[in-house]
Chains A and B, each alone.
Chain A
Amino acid sequence: MAGLAFLTPWLLWGLLSLPALYFLLRATPPAPILRKFPAVALLMGLQDEENTPDRTPWWLLLLRLAAIAALIIGFAGPILNPDDRVSGRGPLVVALDASWASAQDWQRRTAKVAEIIAQAEQDDRPVALIQFSDAPKGALQFGAAGVARDKIAGLAPRAWAPDYAAWKARLTEEDFNELIWFSDGLDHEGRADLRSQIDAKITVVQSDRGVIGISPMTFEDGEILTSIKSLSPSNSIERVEVLGLDPSGSLRVLALEEVEVTARSQDVKFELPTELRNRVRQVRLQGVRSAGAIALTDDSIRSRKIALISAKEAAEGGLLLSSLHYVREALSPTADLIETDLETALLANPDIFIFADIGRLPAIETDSVLEWIEEGGTLVRFAGPRLIASEIGQREEHPLLPVRLRSGGRDLGGAMSWGEPKKLRVFDENSPFFGLQVPEEVSVASQVLAQPDPNLSDRVLARLEDGTPLVTAKDHGAGRVVLFHTTANAAWTDLPLSGLFLKMLERLSIGSGARSVSAEAMQGLVWKPRLVINGVGDIMPADGLAGIDGALLAEPVLGEDLQPGLYENQDRAVAVNVISGETDLKAAQWPATTERLSLTPAEARDLKPIFLSFGILVLLIDILASLAVSGRLFAKIAAVVLALNFAHPADAQDEADIIEAVNNTVLAYVITGDPRMDETSHAGLRGLSAELYRRTAI
């Protein structure tokens, strides 16, 4: 509560003397001037016409009263914005929400706590200092204020919400007389219950500053998305920085954006090159120290892991003949490539499988790949001699192929065939490749043909110019299967040699999206915390923390057991953040009747020097004014001016002139400043002078 207070208020009673002083000053004339004056004899009989003395002028009176008032107020020790005082009796509970939302002004909070405890010490009240975000340990323990003060240093904001439910059982109204609640400003679950239980005794301390936080990054449509959650009362400008590892492995800012936060959830978008995006580890609000202002990211925005599977090359072939060479070259800059056998690759949980000319798989592998697709994997297959030879998907639709295939392939423009190699048809609107330029030189010489099933046309992503499908796809579970009806190398087509191939692959992998670890995948596993975020937003290695059951991680409720941070199981990571994309911050509501203390009092200002110097200044002015009133001021000034005038050297000449003029008979005229008149005077006097000289004895 801003205001004015006085260190020694009783001195203000002195102000009561002002009216008395007013009459006194009014009645007392200004001090008389003592003058020698011989003609006093003439004055002797005279009566002052004014019966009342020469009154002090009202403004002088006002000046003096102001000076005295300023001095009285000054000595009373005025202080602007004094601290609120907590004054009461009986046991006092100081409770802090101590969640991440209060971390931002934690220093001020603890300072306020210390202040309240100091006041309680003066009043000799027992104090209990608790933190709602810590689980209660036994009953409330009241101790001397000194003991509580020692505990202040041990207070720390937690990265999780207060546990009101647990405290509700411990806090009973009978135990204490007053509870000072340092609210973090957020409406956490269970607060209303706890509050209603002890409503009458609550004094709330809440920061004027709103709560601000940032949600974890997601990757959508080529952009990194995050959003600032704000409860600020006013718009603010925040700097969002995206941090990632640089090539040397140290964390640095990869992108920085200034955002004016106008909404409760303000979206922020970053467009990063894939190389940078892969390095991103966290996003944070610059300069905001709170666990809510930082969000770790797991694999979800990283580029996809792509497993390349090809039939074992029987012979050491040339590199350019390798069935996966062009795919590898196209994908390696932007994706993590896994080239191993299928079984091992499945363990790595890639986002995309690329099968180059793979025929029939063993049933067990087929099942596990299928399962993987259902979880959201994308399988991209390329045709080839082996696929045709394996004769899969010809009689009935194979689960790992989007369409039924016709037996045998199709040769176009070969030595044994009619016709030319076929070019690609322009992609139509439904195709993920829509908009890509089809180069003239790209042609397909051989392909596998799809059976013209009724559902074929829905599954075609690209066609040749004669309408035969070149790329087909079907969704399966959360994932899908894509088939290029030609080879991944240059054997059947020169498509892999063109830029179009690269773009088509990118389109496919972007469309597949990155997959975070699904809830089912977490289940049953023990996740080991690697990094944790503490309440003030520092990221620390999670040494000594126990592993977390995947079930808890799937629907994280943050607490001492599940701290925000990065959890790992083998090479998969899950980030648990304070704020999620769906979080909607709600401000804590307090009844109007609840007493409040300000956490941020305007800095107390001692006004004593101001008042005293004002008083003294006014008294100085009063000296001048008194001099002026009694007529002595200008005498002094005149004396100074005279002294200055006499000091003027030019006067010496003047004086000599005067002496000469006085000693002789001199004709003179007044210089008027009008040249003609002066000239006339001069000429006239000169003539007169000559005539006088001629005629008289002068």
Chain B
Amino acid sequence: MNASPQNAAELRAGAEAVSSGLPALLARAEHLAATLALGAHGRKRAGQGEDFWQYRMAEYGDDLRRIDWRRSAKSDKLFIRQKEWQAAQSVYFWVDPGASMAFGDVPKSDRAQLLALAIAILLSKSGERFGLLDLPEPPKTGETQLGKMARAMMGRSAVQDYAKLVPVALPKGSRAVFLSDFLGDWDGLRDALSRVADQGVRGVLMQVLDPAEVAFPFKGRTIFESMQKSLSFEARRADALRQAYLDKLAQRSEALQALARKTGWRFTQHVTDKPAQSAVLWLYNALELG
């Protein structure tokens, strides 16, 4: 499981393994049984759907066909039977394609891809639509879409140290999952995230970090280089920088947290030396596909 997947099929298999290990039953018992049936979610409002929502008095202009005669017959008024608006959820994934994600004994990108695909598999099982944010195709569900997504994630080769998140117009009400180390330029990141959130999209931010990035176990004179060597920094005494670095990392996390709180998103940090299952569980919960 720790070994880097070599191709899309392996990644898929790994993701299947992870998601199969999940307490899928539990998830289904709590969420899926009621809300994920048929892949449709009640929107707590009248609309197109299959479940009864409410009766309301017929008003002028209502289509005659929509009058519920059986109910109307019980009284003098005409009633229209409304159904709850139901629609399958669209979940957009953004898995950071930057070179920075390739760091670590367990590369962060591997973990991020694994997590994304594991969630996707769960979504697929419950009939939700999903897709990658930076792919032109609309989100779909099903095995084919899983394969496509895995291939797309594997097929990318990093060109930049820190991938730029390009805000895309997302349908209102859809969900987004952002898996990244969020170590890139903060202003760009904030703008992009804000813009996505402004579209009425709710989602999850998961900061995937390597243990080394959390602990900063370095000492002595060290030259730190980004993965593509676009940035380098010479620390004369790395151990002296530790606290400053940790502060800065915490600051970044807090900023992400604050951003998430403002937009009603959920944020967490996942370190790659922790099990993937807990992260998948958290993600699944946080998505609240209800």
Binding site for B on A (CB under 8 A): 29-46, 48-50, 52-54, 629-631, 662-663
Complex Cα–Cα for A53 and B221 (A): 8
Binding site for A on B (CB under 8 A): 21, 99-101, 103, 108, 161-162, 181, 183-185, 210, 212-213, 216, 218-227, 231-237, 240-241, 244-245, 248-249, 252
Closest to A34 in B: B223
B24 to chain A, nearest CB (A): 12
Contact indicator A41/B162 (Cβ below 8 Å): yes
Q: 27 A-B contacts, Cβ less than 8 Å apart? A: A31-B221, A32-B222, A34-B225, A35-B218, A36-B224, A37-B213, A37-B225, A37-B226, A38-B108, A38-B181, A39-B213, A40-B226, A41-B100, A41-B161, A41-B185, A43-B248, A45-B248, A46-B241, A48-B236, A48-B240, A49-B244, A50-B237, A50-B240, A53-B237, A54-B220, A629-B220, A630-B221
Chain B residue numbers with a CB within 8 Å of A30 are 220-221
Chain A residue numbers with a CB within 8 Å of B185 are 41
Complex Cα–Cα for A675 and B207 (A): 43
Q: Considering residues A36, A38, A629, A631, which has the most beta carbons from chain B within 10 angstroms of its beta carbon?
A: A38
A33-B221, A42-B249, A44-B231 are known contacts; what are 18 more A-B pairs with Cβ within 8 Å? A36-B227, A38-B103, A39-B183, A39-B224, A39-B245, A41-B100, A41-B184, A43-B233, A44-B233, A46-B244, A46-B245, A48-B237, A49-B241, A50-B237, A52-B236, A53-B221, A54-B236, A631-B219
Complex Cα–Cα for A53 and B220 (A): 9
Chain B residue numbers with a CB within 8 Å of A35 are 218, 222-225
Contact indicator B241/A48 (Cβ below 8 Å): yes
A647 to chain B, nearest CB (A): 18
Contact indicator A49/B240 (Cβ below 8 Å): yes
Contact indicator A40/B248 (Cβ below 8 Å): no
Chain A residue numbers with a CB within 8 Å of B223 are 32-35
Complex Cα–Cα for A501 and B124 (A): 142
Contact indicator A32/B234 (Cβ below 8 Å): yes
B213 to chain A, nearest CB (A): 5
Chain A residue numbers with a CB within 8 Å of B233 are 40, 43-44, 46
B248 to chain A, nearest CB (A): 5
Chain A residue numbers with a CB within 8 Å of B219 are 630-631
Chain B residue numbers with a CB within 8 Å of A45 are 248
Contact indicator B221/A38 (Cβ below 8 Å): no
Contact indicator B226/A41 (Cβ below 8 Å): yes
B96 to chain A, nearest CB (A): 10
Contact indicator A37/B236 (Cβ below 8 Å): no
Q: Contact partner of B224 among A40, A52, A54, CB < 8 A?
A: A40
Q: Contact partner of A29 among B101, B210, B216, B221, CB < 8 A?
A: B221
6 closest A-B pairs by CB: A38-B100, A37-B224, A32-B221, A53-B236, A40-B224, A54-B237
A448 to chain B, nearest CB (A): 123
Q: Contact partner of B225 among A36, A50, A54, A630, CB < 8 A?
A: A36
A66 to chain B, nearest CB (A): 22
A54 to chain B, nearest CB (A): 4
Complex Cα–Cα for A43 and B249 (A): 9
A244 to chain B, nearest CB (A): 85
Contact indicator B224/A630 (Cβ below 8 Å): no
Contact indicator B249/A39 (Cβ below 8 Å): yes
